[in-house]
């Protein structure tokens, strides 16, 4: 992929995150909140793909916990505006 292709893919990813988070008041220029969500999701997926969740607990339950925590945090941040 060319540099332009990577930039377009990154832009599409950010646009998807912004669209999904618009209900929390996240706008395209809300870098901190976008990075917060992307980092949390990317980290979880990367750990799962690399076998980083070796404990016997349910990965699905852990992911649901992560989503609930992201939701609670984004709601709290939205009310601070």
3-state secondary structure of 55: coil
d(CA 33, CA 20): 12
Per-residue pLDDT at 75: 95
- Extents of the domains making up the chain: 3-79
| CB proximity list for 1: less than 8 A, separation 6 or greater | 9
Per-residue pLDDT at 19: 92
Q: What is the pLDDT of residues 13-63, one digit of tens each?
A: 878 888 999 999 998 899 999 899 989 999 999 999 999 999 999 999 999
- Lookup: tokens for 26: 């996240």
pLDDT band at 81 (very low <50, low <70, confident <90, very high): low
Least Cα distance to 66 among 26, 39, 29 occurs for 39
Least Cα distance to 32 among 73, 3, 62 occurs for 73
Q: What is the pLDDT of residues 20-32, one digit of tens each?
A: 999 999 988 999 9
């Amino acid at each position: 992929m060319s540099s332009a292709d990577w930039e377009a893919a990154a832009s599409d990813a950010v646009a998807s995150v912004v669209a999904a988070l618009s209900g929390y008041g996240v706008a395209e220029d809300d870098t901190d909140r976008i990075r917060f969500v992307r980092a949390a999701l990317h980290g979880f997926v990367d750990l799962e793909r690399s076998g980083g969740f070796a404990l016997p607990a349910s990965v699905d339950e852990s992911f649901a916990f992560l989503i609930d925590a992201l939701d609670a945090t984004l709601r709290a941040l939205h009310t601070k505006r």
